[in-house]
Chains A and B, each alone.
Chain A
Amino acid sequence: SEHACAGFYQNKKTFFSFFFILVCDPADVISTVEFNQTGEFLATGDKGGRVVIFQREPQSHRHFIGEYNVYSTFQSHEPEFDYLKSLEIEERINKIRWLPLHNPAHFLLATNDKTIKLWKVSERDKRAEGYNLRDEEGRLKDLSTVTTLQVPVLRPMDLLVEASPRRVFANAHAYHINSISVNSDCETYLSADDLRINLWNLNITDRSFNIVDLKPENMEDLSEVITVAEFHPHHCHLLAFSSSTGTTRLCDMRASALCDQHAKLFEEAADPSHRSFFSEIVSSVSDVKFSHSGRYLLTRDYLTVKVWDLNMENKPVETYQVHDYLRTKLCSLYESDCIFDKFECAWNGTDSVIMTGAYNNYFRMFDRASLRDVTLEASREVCKRRAVLQPRRVCVGKKQKETDVSVDSLDFRKKILHTAWHPKENIIAIAASNNLYIFQDRLTPNGHHNTPEIQSAPPKWQTQPNPPTY
């Protein structure tokens, strides 16, 4: 269905229902969320360097798609110290990217500021039994009883999920890594820091190629930094990277070994009427996502999300205001450093709906066809199991309804920076501080939104029935 989500915007009354909360250890603020290619797995990385993988249980009820349960938890990165520069290297996981499926095991790349690691997560359900010189408890046997050789045999055991580090890609970044992206050739991936983008072969750890370098001869001439970089989903030679100046560049790796010369530059002429001290800060692009179709680019800056057609560089085809009411508050947001928050954005599986985070644990969705939008809240108070999410409204002046929230009462410490949308279905994962919320479209286990039955009743986003322990 081309506009799978259109249904629930057509109905004005309720929108999403929702579903379940995963509560985490307070020390572990989630720093990245990512579904794998099939959506069966969801990985989160946190400030403590931990990666937690959730697996979706097989469908059991008629209306509930299987819920997500913890599949594996492992420590990916440890705090380190760079003795040459006297700098601490935090263990915080900045990004996680899944590799396309190789074999029954799953692979993902996780990075902190400096080091990228390739992890293999695999299952084992057999173990070897039968020693020649010891019994099963490990005690030495009486050697006189050992008269024949015994070959170990494999016996079934309880399923064991193991995570093992396969490769460590280190020492290639002088600045903090902000992005990693796996190429559609499934052989290479890129890593980007503030000034450079490197290209790696997934099998080679001791060498990478620098493909973009923005570092000026003299650091005083520095005018922009790279904020995000991503490969095109189908064309292995295309990559996009955005910068703090609000531009997004598309590079063609076929043209040249060094991609310093971009093929396209997506930039909207600044509106002189909005020109202010904060103009440049708020135009900095905090996230870039190619649409699944590969045709569009989604960019998030502080106040808006924009959709760009790869064929049109001079302006976005769509611009959505995320929280325009903050335009008058930029001064205090600057003082509290909130203005530098890096919100991510996401496409739904059919590229028809866009999602991105905001403050006060709110997140926003925009339907591209109907141009309707909705604000929802992810918080433990409202997200009861199987509860239906009620839309929120932020008002600038006087409250029109009881449920309206005034701009002045928004909590800027509660922010939703990291969000992810299941690659095919209407399931979303929202990280709010140390909580992970997974919401699913209650009535549409298979994404058939436009059946007449569903249109008559508003689709519900619903909390998952049993919150698993984290």
Chain B
Amino acid sequence: MAGAEGDDSLYPIAVLIDELRNEDVQLRLNSIKKLSTIALALGVERTRTELLPFLTDTIYDEDEVLLALAEQLGSFTVLVGGPEFVHCLLPPLESLATVEETVVRDKAVESLQKISQEHSPVDLEVHFVPLVKRLASGDWFTSRTSACGLFSVCYPRVSSTVKAEIRQHFRTLCSDDTPMVRRAASSKLGEFAKVLELDYVKSDIIPLFTALASDEQDSVRLLAVEAGVSIATLLPQEDLEDLVMPTLRQAAEDKSWRVRYMVADKFSELQKAVGPEITKNDLVPAFQNLLKDCEAEVRTAAANKVKVFCESLPEDSRETIIMTHILPCVKELVSDTNQHVKSALASVIMGLSTILGKDNTVEHLLPLFLVQLKDEYPEVRLNIISNLDCVNEVIGIRQLSQSLLPAIVELAEDAKWRVRLAIIEYMPLLAGQLGVEFFDEKLNSLCMAWLIDHVYAIREAATCNLMKLVEKFGAEWAQNTIVPKVLGMANDSNYLHRMTTLFCINALSEVCGQEITTKHMLPVVLKMSTDQVANVRFNVARCLQKIGPVLDSSALQADVKPVLEKLATDQDMDVKYFALEAISVITLINGHTVYDSM
């Protein structure tokens, strides 16, 4: 219904503009996302004088609309007339930087950071810096938190007088009354330190860091840990000991577990930042303490870092440190009371074997693996099993196989189906590592047992597992070991098991190839077409459709077609439906086959 007499090209834009204030949020959102189209149509002049003032005041809107607006404005410079006019974007972004919704504020800050780069040095001081100062001294904490993220983008490009002011503003925010602002300052401290001259890092940032790291609120202190890591990377080695380490040491022993957790979580970064000497003297004992922490969350975080920490130890003393300092703690963690700690350890402990080499692995690590393989929590055992490849490279899996087997069997029979599902997923990997002989002897029966599990998800995974095993061990192996068993289930009294046969054939026909499929599987499928349960019959139709491409055309014509035609006249609606579907698909394939061979 575009205006016939009016200007046709105006119509779509007019709709977009009107929908900026539609009742429906979705329409407003769509319109905001096409803001560049509107601006383009209005031209730079009207965008600056009419559209932006309107947008500056629309902060009443829903978060998602404001979020989209904040994002759009970050790439609006061209639409307001280029870098010369980029400061026109500041008012709407300034109001967005004060809303209560964190995601919107963060996006506004991101856009402000982006357009700050498009300001000339003069504009930056005339327009951008005053905005940062306004935000930094705003009444509401929302504006002050936003300011924290803007100092680092303008600092490098302003005069030294303004630099001094910016540093002063940042200092003020670091001791703000509200914890929200101190948290924002704490989280931006590292970023700000990076753009400061080294002297000011030492004279300004270090005291701020020390203050924030001893804030009365642990939510502030924990953010200072990350800042500490960034600051450490900036300082020359000789200053670290005096300026950063006392605070970091204190953080590692903080009364609040959340702060210690943060230290454990950032340990690898910290290790990299302080270098090998401090690592040897300070971090090793600190890490030991974290591994022995009284709070399980902290031990979990530290346990997760065991491998990376050991890997990054200085090479000359790596083995000694691990053997004398780390391994004793690891040994304790293996029998920790908390399952998450043990589980975290189990997911990385195998990685130590590559670092320690064959002899140490056999002597020291293997006993730990064995303990974890027998752990009461399935997740711990699963984590060990899922990382077997590391050990395999170093000592071969045979060393473990005696303990591995009971662990696998137990997981395979776990009462929780999700645990059973998880272990099935590792079967192909295990089969590859253990070899066909071991597999046939010990694990094959498990794989077959899953096919008659009472949970469908397990039967389905077991079917898929068989396919992957055949991919590994080959068609001949399949024919000798699993195909007879699968086909045997076709005579089971439980129709669910009979259907499993069909599902297995669906999965196996392609990997087993034409001969096995035609000779062994097809007769069974065809025979099942007279099953008394309709679910089985329509799955026969689906199965025939699935294995059709594997069969040759004579088998399709002679055996499959008559059966499908018969099923197509079945009394059951679903059977009929799937039979007809199979016929049409197979005819198509068959046609192509004939055509191709001509």
* Residue in A124, A147, A152, A237 whose CB lies within 8 Å of B60: A124
Question: B570 at the A/B interface (Cβ < 8 Å)?
Answer: no
Within 8 A of B (CB), among A195-234: 203, 234
Question: B41 at the A/B interface (Cβ < 8 Å)?
Answer: yes
Give the CA-CA distance A7 to B258 in the complex, in Å.
Answer: 47
B236 CB contacts on chain A under 8 angstroms: none
User: Chain B 282-295, CB within 8 Å of chain A: the 1/0 string?
Assistant: 00000000000011
**Interface-lining segment among A130-138, A316-324, A358-366, A398-406:** A130-138
Contact in complex: B100, A152 (CB < 8 Å): no
Contact in complex: B218, A254 (CB < 8 Å): yes
Within 8 A of B (CB), among A131-174: 131-134, 143-154, 166
A102 CB contacts on chain B under 8 angstroms: 100, 140-142
Question: B158 at the A/B interface (Cβ < 8 Å)?
Answer: no
Within 8 A of A (CB), among B125-164: 140-143
Within 8 A of A (CB), among B1-59: 2-7, 10-11, 13-15, 17-18, 20-21, 41-42, 46, 50-51, 54, 57-58
Within 8 A of A (CB), among B194-234: 216-219
**Interface-lining segment among B175-183, B403-411, B543-551:** B175-183
Contact in complex: B4, A144 (CB < 8 Å): yes
Within 8 A of A (CB), among B408-436: none
A203 CB contacts on chain B under 8 angstroms: 102
Residue of B nearest to A234 (CB): B216
Q: How far is the CB of B219 from chain A (nearest CB, A)?
A: 5
Within 8 A of B (CB), among A102-143: 102-105, 107, 120, 122, 124, 126, 128, 131-134, 143
Contact in complex: A151, B14 (CB < 8 Å): no
Q: How far is the CB of A104 from chain B (nearest CB, A)?
A: 8
Question: B192 at the A/B interface (Cβ < 8 Å)?
Answer: no
Contact in complex: A254, B256 (CB < 8 Å): yes
Give the CA-CA distance A254 to B57 in the complex, in Å.
Answer: 43
Give the CA-CA distance A292 to B225 in the complex, in Å.
Answer: 31
Within 8 A of A (CB), among B242-280: 255-258
Contact in complex: B6, A143 (CB < 8 Å): yes
Within 8 A of A (CB), among B48-75: 50-51, 54, 57-58, 60
B294 CB contacts on chain A under 8 angstroms: 256
Give the CA-CA distance A128 to B256 in the complex, in Å.
Answer: 51
B14 CB contacts on chain A under 8 angstroms: 132-133, 146, 149-150
B46 CB contacts on chain A under 8 angstroms: 149, 151
Contact in complex: B257, A236 (CB < 8 Å): no
Contact in complex: B179, A187 (CB < 8 Å): yes
A143 CB contacts on chain B under 8 angstroms: 2-6, 11
User: Chain A 374-398, CB within 8 Å of chain B: the 1/0 string?
Assistant: 0000000000000000000000000
Question: B313 at the A/B interface (Cβ < 8 Å)?
Answer: no
Residue of A nearest to B52 (CB): A151
Contact in complex: B57, A131 (CB < 8 Å): no
Question: B296 at the A/B interface (Cβ < 8 Å)?
Answer: yes
Contact in complex: B219, A236 (CB < 8 Å): yes
Contact in complex: A147, B258 (CB < 8 Å): no
Give the CA-CA distance A289 to B278 in the complex, in Å.
Answer: 48
Contact in complex: A147, B6 (CB < 8 Å): yes
Give the CA-CA distance A257 to B295 in the complex, in Å.
Answer: 7
Give the CA-CA distance A280 to B419 in the complex, in Å.
Answer: 46
Give the CA-CA distance A150 to B6 in the complex, in Å.
Answer: 14
Contact in complex: A131, B7 (CB < 8 Å): no
What count of chain A residues pass the 8 Å CB interface test?
43
Question: B345 at the A/B interface (Cβ < 8 Å)?
Answer: no
Residue of A nearest to B46 (CB): A151
Give the CA-CA distance A255 to B256 in the complex, in Å.
Answer: 6
A103 and B13 in contact, given A134-B18, A151-B51, A187-B179 (Cβ under 8 angstroms): no
Question: A23 at the A/B interface (Cβ < 8 Å)?
Answer: no
Question: A235 at the A/B interface (Cβ < 8 Å)?
Answer: yes
Question: B509 at the A/B interface (Cβ < 8 Å)?
Answer: no
Question: B297 at the A/B interface (Cβ < 8 Å)?
Answer: yes
Contact in complex: A235, B7 (CB < 8 Å): no
Give the CA-CA distance A133 to B7 in the complex, in Å.
Answer: 12
* Residue in B98, B180, B257 whose CB lies within 8 Å of A186: B180
B496 CB contacts on chain A under 8 angstroms: none
Q: How far is the CB of A131 from chain B (nearest CB, A)?
A: 5
A257 and B142 in contact, given A149-B14, A152-B54 (Cβ under 8 angstroms): no
Give the CA-CA distance A153 to B258 in the complex, in Å.
Answer: 50
* Residue in B17, B42, B255 whose CB lies within 8 Å of A254: B255
Give the CA-CA distance A256 to B140 in the complex, in Å.
Answer: 33
Give the CA-CA distance A430 to B501 in the complex, in Å.
Answer: 73
Question: A185 at the A/B interface (Cβ < 8 Å)?
Answer: yes
Question: A178 at the A/B interface (Cβ < 8 Å)?
Answer: no
Question: A101 at the A/B interface (Cβ < 8 Å)?
Answer: yes
Q: How far is the CB of B296 from chain A (nearest CB, A)?
A: 7
Q: How far is the CB of B103 from chain A (nearest CB, A)?
A: 8
Contact in complex: A144, B142 (CB < 8 Å): no
A254 and B54 in contact, given A133-B18, A146-B14, A149-B14 (Cβ under 8 angstroms): no
A14 CB contacts on chain B under 8 angstroms: none
Question: A69 at the A/B interface (Cβ < 8 Å)?
Answer: no
A100 and B178 in contact, given A254-B256, A256-B257 (Cβ under 8 angstroms): yes
Within 8 A of B (CB), among A25-83: none
Contact in complex: B18, A255 (CB < 8 Å): no
Contact in complex: A153, B54 (CB < 8 Å): yes
* Residue in B18, B41, B101 whose CB lies within 8 Å of A131: B18
* Residue in A104, A132, A152, A237 whose CB lies within 8 Å of B218: A237
Residue of A nearest to B98 (CB): A103
Question: A304 at the A/B interface (Cβ < 8 Å)?
Answer: no
Give the CA-CA distance A151 to B255 in the complex, in Å.
Answer: 58
Contact in complex: B219, A149 (CB < 8 Å): no
* Residue in A133, A147, A152 whose CB lies within 8 Å of B15: A133
Q: How far is the CB of B436 from chain A (nearest CB, A)?
A: 46
Contact in complex: B57, A154 (CB < 8 Å): yes
* Residue in B2, B17, B100, B217 whose CB lies within 8 Å of A107: B100
* Residue in B17, B99, B101 whose CB lies within 8 Å of A151: B17
Give the CA-CA distance A100 to B140 in the complex, in Å.
Answer: 10
Contact in complex: A187, B219 (CB < 8 Å): yes
Residue of B nearest to A127 (CB): B21
Contact in complex: A132, B7 (CB < 8 Å): no
Contact in complex: A101, B15 (CB < 8 Å): no
Given A144-B6, A254-B255: 5 more A-B contacts, CB < 8 Å: A103-B143, A152-B17, A187-B219, A234-B216, A256-B257
The 5 closest A-B pairs by CB, nearest first: A143-B3, A144-B5, A132-B14, A254-B256, A151-B50
Pairs A–B under 8 Å by Cβ, sample size 7: A128-B58, A143-B5, A143-B11, A149-B41, A151-B50, A152-B20, A234-B216
